[in-house]
Chains A and B, each alone.
Chain A
């Protein structure tokens, strides 16, 4: 597989997420503030922050698999999200770090921040199952 651009899924597009940058080979996903991501007035909904973390984590795993020359699909097993700060009504960013990529599973840590990457508003810890090659699924 080549380093083809990652098409973000419908859910990410619906929340206006885009790839805005790259950190250590992983795409940085940006999400603008809007009513559709708002929880309590003026703040992001935890679920929307989790969604941003999820998209960043999936993008990071796909990128890591591509780097290994793999076209395997992945399946999420679980996620733990820590909410550290209220998400304010501004642009939010997230990036995933694949802390381990094995043959059967991947461990990922995703971080979401606004102004300062060292002050995360939330962190996600995810486990993904690495599934068989895509062609087997079709």
Chain B
């Protein structure tokens, strides 16, 4: 549930072009996004890239310093969620229906992790997303993600 009810409405007035950098200032700096301190990196027509810095308290295995897999899930959840609004050009309330992550390799200790979320198809109700995480070189992904988001609020209350 990356973000649902239109509390973003206050910072994303209707009819305004969706700005992922601006929205990340809310999603990435408060709540769980704030705990992880997600940073906006860049975006295109249908994608958004965010990043999280390695931190000791995000580690799953203290022997290796490998990040908890859920850190990657949160990163991909936010990045893919925002890719839908970016492709759509505006905010619409939605929640994550499902999300799958394949871990190709661990994210090494101390390394910043980037997550690129891509919205590859959009219907009236569903946003179909995929994405990948990497440590700075998109050609060397550490995880792949795919999932779906369902629109809520103005359809189903």
Give chain A's interface residues, CB within 8 Å of chain B. Answer: 9-15, 35-41, 43-51, 53-54, 58, 75-83, 86-87, 137
Quick one: which of B7, B70, B100 contacts A47, CB cutoff 8 A?
B70
Assess the B32–A83 pair: CB atoms within 8 A. Answer: no
Flag whether B103 is at the interface (Cβ < 8 A). yes
Please state if A38 and B31 are interface contacts (CB–CB under 8 Å): yes
A35-B60 in contact given A46-B99, A82-B98 (Cβ < 8 Å): no
Contact B56 A10 (CB under 8 A): yes
Chain B residue contacts of A37, Cβ below 8 A: 31-32, 35
CA distance A86 to B93 in the complex (A): 13
23 contacting pairs across A/B (C-beta < 8 A) = A10-B56, A10-B62, A11-B57, A11-B58, A11-B67, A14-B35, A35-B30, A36-B32, A37-B32, A38-B30, A40-B3, A40-B4, A45-B31, A45-B32, A45-B74, A50-B70, A51-B68, A51-B71, A51-B73, A54-B68, A76-B103, A81-B73, A137-B63
CB-contact partner of B32 in A39, A53, A80, under 8 A: A39
Q: Using known A-B contacts A46-B2, A78-B100, determine if residue A86 contacts B95 with beta carbons closer than 8 Å.
A: yes
Report how many residues on chain B are interfacial, defined by Cβ distance under 8 Å. 41
A81 to B101, alpha carbons, bound, how many Å?
Answer: 9
Which residues of B come within 8 Å of A, CB atoms? Answer: 1-5, 7, 30-36, 56-63, 67-71, 73-75, 77-78, 95-103, 106
Residues on B with beta carbons closer than 8 Å to the beta carbon of A75: 106
Which B residue's beta carbon lies closest to that of A138? B63
Closest to B70 in A: A51
Known: A9-B60, A13-B57, A37-B32. A43 touches B96 (CB 8 A): no
Closest A residue to B97 by beta carbon equals A83
- Are A79 and B68 also in contact (CB < 8 A) when A40-B3, A41-B5, A43-B4 are? no
